[in-house]
Chains A and B, each alone.
Chain A
Amino acid sequence: MGCLHLLPSRGVFIAMLLPDHSYVKAKSLEECLKTLRETGEKAKVVAGGTDVIFNMRLKLFQPEVAVSIRGLKDLQQVDELDDGSVRIGAACRLADLIDHPLAGGRYPAFKQSLEAVASTHIRNMGTLGGNICLETRCWYTNNSDQWREGLQGCYKTDSELCHVIKSSSKCHAINNSDSPPALIALGAMLTLQKEGATREVPIAEFYRADGVNFSVLEPGELVTHVTIPPVSDRQVFIKITPRKGMDFSLGAVAARCDGQGEQISNITIVLGSLVTAPVVLDKPAQVVLEAGLTDDAIEKAADLVRDELGEVSNLYGRSIYKRQIAIVLVKRALVQLREL
């Protein structure tokens, strides 16, 4: 039988020891993609490092190679394309995007989602690509390795077990990231590149309902750009947290629509931070699309949220409470949309 010493070096005062790894600072995208192909699953891409480095210290990631994309200027550009879309490099820092006229300045819901991320310090370091690829979280995996040893492993580490929903056949860690719901509502596309291949994937199809393999990103592949189409200003993002700032969401919602007043011609409603992937709410959207953003329709739409959400884990909050939060978020988002 093994032993446990509950001694993570998690304190800020003492060096939390990083696992042994080599560090490659890519000088060009080509070089980066080549390194990623060669190293495959042994590599982790580091941009701002706010999530990856922390998880490495928790020994959740023990990559042999950390590939830094901080030097890639191509991925730090924000450009307007001919069709009016905005193309944002994945290595742009969150703080820079908030006030960028083409990013936060043009897409209010996107701006709100970025402002909601953690704290000033983290927004100053963290990048958009990192926020999109944020590791899914749960109370088991987000503790140190020594702490985790006190329990059996899990799907994310080395066992066929989920501590959050014990009978489950998959990992229930949640997508706790703020920008994805907003980007899905805005209809953003992601550019994924690997050596010799580039593909465009709608961000709505990027996430998978599995906490371990939570995205369609393949080994050796990198999110390089986010392209947001020109959309109307009727968009909103709301996040509920236990305290203001420096916190992950208990639940978040993003919504966007076209049309005037209660009459809308197109709507996307997305919930985040509740389950393993952001949830696009089809039926509630259908209700308000048909009936308009009336009080009755909003109530009816909110009633349908529960069914769309499926199983909500008892993670960072009681599941019954989180379902209630989800309903509240959808109602508030729709009411706000009506007023825009």
Chain B
Amino acid sequence: MARKTEIGTPDRSRRRPKFDGELGSREKIDLDVIGKRQPRLDGPEKVSGRSVFADDVQLPGMLCGKILRSRYAHARILGIDTSRAEALPGVKAVITATDAGEIDVNGREPVFASDVVTYIGEEIAAVAALDELTAEKALDLIEIEYEELPAVMSMRRALKEGAPLVDGKTEGNVWSDDIDNYGEVEPAFEAADYIFEEKYEAGVTHNLFAEFHVAVVDFSLPDKLTLYTPTQTSYLMQHALAPAFGLTLSQVQIIHLNTGGAFSGRGSVRPHHYIAILLSRETRRPVKIFATGDEEFLVCRALGENKYKMRMAMKKDGTITAFDMEAEMDGGAVGTEVGYFGWMAGLCNSWVFPLEGLRMRRRCVLTNNRPNFLGHGGLMLSTNAAIMQLINTVAKKIDRDPMDIMYQNAIEEGHTGLSGEWFASCGLRECIETVRKASDWDNRYGKLEPYHGLGIGIGSMAAGAKGAFRHDTSAVMVRVSEDGIVTVYTGIPDMGQGTHTTMAVIVAEVLGIDPNDMKVVAGDTDLTPIDVGAFAQRGTIQTGNAARNAALDAREQLTVYAAGKLEVDKDDLVFRGGKVYAQSAPDKLMNFKDLVYKTLHGKEGRSVMGRGFYNSPLQFGTTSWSFGAQIAEVKVDPDTGEVQVLKVWVAHDLGRAINPLACEGQIDGQVYSAMSQILYEEVQTDAGLYLNPSRLEYKVPRSYEMPEIDYYLIETIDPFGPFGAKEIGEGIIVVSGGAIAAAVSDALGGEFIGEMPMAPWRVLKHIKRAQRQEAAGRTAA
């Protein structure tokens, strides 16, 4: 299964979307609804505890499912005896690998381990019982005989010659080994005046969603499978589950209700989904499986250990010409696409700098750890933290201001990147200038007290990335009810980012109505049209365009009556402020609600229902990128190593701020999460066992630790985004990470700190070392 690829510079023309317009147009269309601060439509429900989450679902006759998990990181299962559990009154089913048969999880991992377990927490058996207590007791009664096998718990051990093979077959435990080679790397290094090298290591994390892993399944009839679960993509789940259980797509209904946080951790089906389905099929009753405290940490597929080596080529004048990076990623016991996503982590450097060459080797290594995937900010958070810290530190070495280095290297609109990306809108330099001025950088950088630092980070994020599937389609329906209330039907999940309100605002803009006169129906594949899901920052640009198209379709239908009634050309009609009027004669007008009523209650009885879809015009890749610059100010306590983030200035080129209030919310959340991952979050392990599997011991900061934030939303009006919007999904977090890491390093006098998180004990270690060196220097002098 191991995969080795080498990607060279692709044909650049393939990646350029068709575009006939003129670039650089900053002319703003006069908008009425977009750009206003719109509170979330589901806000009152959420804050009053009325929102329904999967765990709130109670179905008649529902059973409690529980999973028996491996206690060993690597062991042979010699025998499983479920007879005592089956005999326990109240137990309705006990299932193991035999019951799963040929079914596996996305073709990647078994539903249950059958002969060998490869990580602590791997699923071995499951029970369904009348209540939770009985289910727990039944698990205690399942007897398993193990023979412990040697386990590899670190990438270092896994890569050693003769190391035990995690899956028994992958040579050298290297699941994937890919090299991306863009442009001319070696010549750039040969011609470089400076070559800087550093190493960076990032620890294991948990996505720490507010909502735990949960699956409520009703598969009591053979031709209807209903699954309630939080997800980023009901589409992909439907596509994975239907063939696995011999169903058609429409026989699988995924209901994701409200998703309580995702942070790149809910992008796929997981064993507990399959187990709940199997239990429901077996018992012909609905089954709920709910991950509890420690289990939540075991089943979460978040970031594993990632190690980077990087080299940067620079000219004397500060021009950055090439990067050469190597990444080792702990994939855990199951090979995942985490190695694939390393591709973006390397490439994102070439989105901000006009490089001559970029090389990235990314190896995904198998170990007997929990299978790993992605965290908030993906791998780009850690790579950007490393690269930005590197640039900030080398600027000091060559006696330059890192701000100037960033500015001079920043790409501009119309640039074509190394893998053929074409940046039709780019406000990177504007972002840099904005935060530079706002933070008074020129008067403060390098002049602060010791242990008080400033750091600058820049970055970019792709808004949508077509490639995993043939299409990247989102479709939206807009129903105009006879009372003038408009309902948006969308399949995109809102996991806190506010995308449902964003869609409402877009539709409201087109129809010229108040977004508060709107409803959003989402999260049920039986009700809503196709949507690939909320990942890769595709929500605003893909689903947003679909919403716009659907609204335009509905508006077109409404113009028929309006144009006749007002006796104007239908292209002359303006929908705005709840009114419909002629551009040429604004006194010819009618109320939107009246128009809707009359359209339906006319002789033709026209019911208005708009439909629209959007699929990126590209064969592969992205049309639009967000850009950002941030400055973080931190204070380090030299005695304890504690870091306090005082302030973050955020300037983000998001194309267009559809809802500035939600944009600020996204900034808050991502600055928080970046700070949390850079400074706090770490899963501590001992031989694969988690030592801090709780929200008390897995430290994340609280609202007290939140820095002050200044927001600058830079609008460049992208030609492909709906009303020019790009993304504010993960574009902030990767830049915040870089700025905060660089600021800590600045506070410590410019030393590169190659570890993440920068926990107090690590920071103190660096401070003490520097103090010792200084003392030794004084003695020598």
Do A144 and B705 have beta carbons less than 8 Å apart?
Answer: no
Do A14 and B132 have beta carbons less than 8 Å apart?
Answer: yes
With A245-B702, A328-B640 as given contacts, are A14 and B71 in contact (CB-CB < 8 Å)?
A: no
Residues of B within 8 A of A247 (CB): 696, 699
With A11-B293, A17-B132, A150-B120 as given contacts, are A4 and B70 in contact (CB-CB < 8 Å)?
A: yes
Do A139 and B691 have beta carbons less than 8 Å apart?
Answer: yes
**A59 CA to B133 CA, complexed, in Å:** 14
Separation in Å of the A104 CB from the closest CB of chain B? 21
Residues of B within 8 A of A328 (CB): 639-640
Separation in Å of the A45 CB from the closest CB of chain B? 23
Do A8 and B294 have beta carbons less than 8 Å apart?
Answer: yes
**A250 CA to B470 CA, complexed, in Å:** 53
Mask of A145-158 contacts with B, CB within 8 angstroms, 1/0: 01101110000000
**A10 CA to B133 CA, complexed, in Å:** 14
Mask of A1-34 contacts with B, CB within 8 angstroms, 1/0: 1011111111101111100000000000000000
Residues of A within 8 A of B578 (CB): none
Mask of A126-164 contacts with B, CB within 8 angstroms, 1/0: 000000000000010011101101110000000000000
With A5-B66, A147-B693, A243-B680 as given contacts, are A17 and B212 in contact (CB-CB < 8 Å)?
A: no
Residues of B within 8 A of A16 (CB): 292
With A6-B121, A143-B694, A243-B705 as given contacts, are A1 and B144 in contact (CB-CB < 8 Å)?
A: yes
Q: Is A312 an interface residue (CB 8 A)?
A: no
Residues of B within 8 A of A149 (CB): 71
Mask of A313-335 contacts with B, CB within 8 angstroms, 1/0: 00011101100110010011000
Among candidates A4, A14, A324, A325, residue contacting B292 with C-beta atoms closer than 8 Å = A14
Do A7 and B136 have beta carbons less than 8 Å apart?
Answer: yes
Do B69 and A244 have beta carbons less than 8 Å apart?
Answer: no
Residues of A within 8 A of B680 (CB): 242-243
Do A321 and B68 have beta carbons less than 8 Å apart?
Answer: no
Do B702 and A7 have beta carbons less than 8 Å apart?
Answer: no
Question: Which of chain B's residues has its CB closest to A248's CB?
Answer: B696
Question: Which of chain A's residues has its CB closest to B78's CB?
Answer: A1
Q: Is B561 an interface residue (CB 8 A)?
A: no
Question: Which of chain B's residues has its CB closest to A9's CB?
Answer: B292
**A17 CA to B761 CA, complexed, in Å:** 37
Q: Is A340 an interface residue (CB 8 A)?
A: no
Separation in Å of the A329 CB from the closest CB of chain B? 9
Residues of A within 8 A of B704 (CB): 243-245
Separation in Å of the A130 CB from the closest CB of chain B? 17
Mask of A32-46 contacts with B, CB within 8 angstroms, 1/0: 000000000000000
Among candidates A4, A13, A150, A316, residue contacting B290 with C-beta atoms closer than 8 Å = A13
With A139-B697, A242-B680 as given contacts, are A325 and B640 in contact (CB-CB < 8 Å)?
A: yes
Q: Is A240 an interface residue (CB 8 A)?
A: yes
With A243-B702, A321-B761 as given contacts, are A7 and B66 in contact (CB-CB < 8 Å)?
A: yes
Residues of A within 8 A of B120 (CB): 6, 150
Do A8 and B293 have beta carbons less than 8 Å apart?
Answer: yes
With A9-B292, A146-B294 as given contacts, are A3 and B143 in contact (CB-CB < 8 Å)?
A: yes
Mask of B259-282 contacts with A, CB within 8 angstroms, 1/0: 000000000000000000000000
Within 8 A of A (CB), among B633-658: 639-642
Separation in Å of the A340 CB from the closest CB of chain B? 20
Q: Is A246 an interface residue (CB 8 A)?
A: yes
Q: Is B338 an interface residue (CB 8 A)?
A: no
Residues of A within 8 A of B145 (CB): 1
Do A243 and B699 have beta carbons less than 8 Å apart?
Answer: yes
**A6 CA to B213 CA, complexed, in Å:** 14
Residues of B within 8 A of A245 (CB): 702, 704
Residues of A within 8 A of B700 (CB): 243
Residues of B within 8 A of A331 (CB): 639
Separation in Å of the A276 CB from the closest CB of chain B? 19
Q: Is B524 an interface residue (CB 8 A)?
A: no
With A4-B69, A5-B69, A6-B121 as given contacts, are A144 and B293 in contact (CB-CB < 8 Å)?
A: yes
Within 8 A of A (CB), among B663-685: 680
**A255 CA to B699 CA, complexed, in Å:** 29
Question: Which of chain A's residues has its CB closest to B290's CB?
Answer: A14
Do A139 and B692 have beta carbons less than 8 Å apart?
Answer: yes
> Looking at chain B's contact residues, is the secondary structure mostly helix, strand, loop, or mixed?
mixed
With A11-B290, A243-B702, A245-B704 as given contacts, are A143 and B693 in contact (CB-CB < 8 Å)?
A: yes
Do A10 and B71 have beta carbons less than 8 Å apart?
Answer: no
Mask of A244-268 contacts with B, CB within 8 angstroms, 1/0: 1111100000000000000000000
Question: Which of chain A's residues has its CB closest to B68's CB?
Answer: A5
Mask of B52-68 contacts with A, CB within 8 angstroms, 1/0: 00010000000000111
Most buried by B among A8, A17, A247, A316: A8
Question: Which of chain A's residues has its CB closest to B294's CB?
Answer: A147
Separation in Å of the A126 CB from the closest CB of chain B? 15
Do A10 and B294 have beta carbons less than 8 Å apart?
Answer: yes
Within 8 A of A (CB), among B97-147: 120-121, 132-133, 136, 139-140, 142-146
Among candidates B144, B212, B290, B639, residue contacting A3 with C-beta atoms closer than 8 Å = B144
Separation in Å of the B55 CB from the closest CB of chain A? 6
Separation in Å of the A273 CB from the closest CB of chain B? 14
Within 8 A of A (CB), among B703-730: 704-705
Do A11 and B292 have beta carbons less than 8 Å apart?
Answer: yes
Within 8 A of B (CB), among A216-272: 240, 242-248
Within 8 A of A (CB), among B291-321: 291-296, 298
Residues of A within 8 A of B697 (CB): 139, 142, 316
Residues of A within 8 A of B640 (CB): 240, 324-325, 328
Do B293 and A10 have beta carbons less than 8 Å apart?
Answer: yes
**A247 CA to B692 CA, complexed, in Å:** 13
Do A321 and B139 have beta carbons less than 8 Å apart?
Answer: no
Residues of B within 8 A of A11 (CB): 212, 290-293, 296
Question: Which of chain A's residues has its CB closest to B138's CB?
Answer: A5
Q: Is B689 an interface residue (CB 8 A)?
A: yes
Among candidates A243, A248, A318, residue contacting B761 with C-beta atoms closer than 8 Å = A318
Residues of B within 8 A of A243 (CB): 680, 699-702, 704-705
**A44 CA to B143 CA, complexed, in Å:** 33
Residues of A within 8 A of B133 (CB): 17
**A45 CA to B186 CA, complexed, in Å:** 72
Q: Is B764 an interface residue (CB 8 A)?
A: yes
Separation in Å of the B691 CB from the closest CB of chain A? 5
Residues of B within 8 A of A144 (CB): 293-294
**A142 CA to B133 CA, complexed, in Å:** 21
Do A1 and B136 have beta carbons less than 8 Å apart?
Answer: no
Most buried by A among B292, B642, B693, B761: B292
**A16 CA to B68 CA, complexed, in Å:** 18
Within 8 A of A (CB), among B168-184: none
Separation in Å of the B52 CB from the closest CB of chain A? 13
**A4 CA to B124 CA, complexed, in Å:** 10
Do A10 and B705 have beta carbons less than 8 Å apart?
Answer: no
Separation in Å of the B262 CB from the closest CB of chain A? 18
Q: Is B760 an interface residue (CB 8 A)?
A: yes
Residues of A within 8 A of B692 (CB): 139
Residues of A within 8 A of B761 (CB): 317-318, 320-321
Do B55 and A13 have beta carbons less than 8 Å apart?
Answer: yes
**A7 CA to B64 CA, complexed, in Å:** 13
**A246 CA to B145 CA, complexed, in Å:** 41
Within 8 A of B (CB), among A279-326: 316-318, 320-321, 324-325
Question: Which of chain B's residues has its CB closest to A318's CB?
Answer: B761
Closest 9 CB pairs of A and B: A10-B293, A4-B71, A321-B761, A244-B704, A5-B139, A328-B639, A5-B68, A11-B292, A3-B144
Q: A1-B144, A6-B298, A17-B133 are in contact. List 18 more A-B contacts (CB 8 A).
A: A3-B143, A4-B69, A4-B70, A7-B139, A8-B292, A9-B132, A9-B136, A10-B293, A10-B694, A11-B290, A11-B292, A14-B132, A143-B693, A147-B294, A240-B642, A245-B702, A317-B761, A324-B639
15 residue pairs A–B, Cβ–Cβ below 8 Å: A4-B68, A5-B69, A6-B71, A9-B293, A10-B694, A14-B55, A143-B693, A147-B294, A150-B71, A242-B680, A243-B680, A244-B702, A247-B696, A248-B696, A331-B639
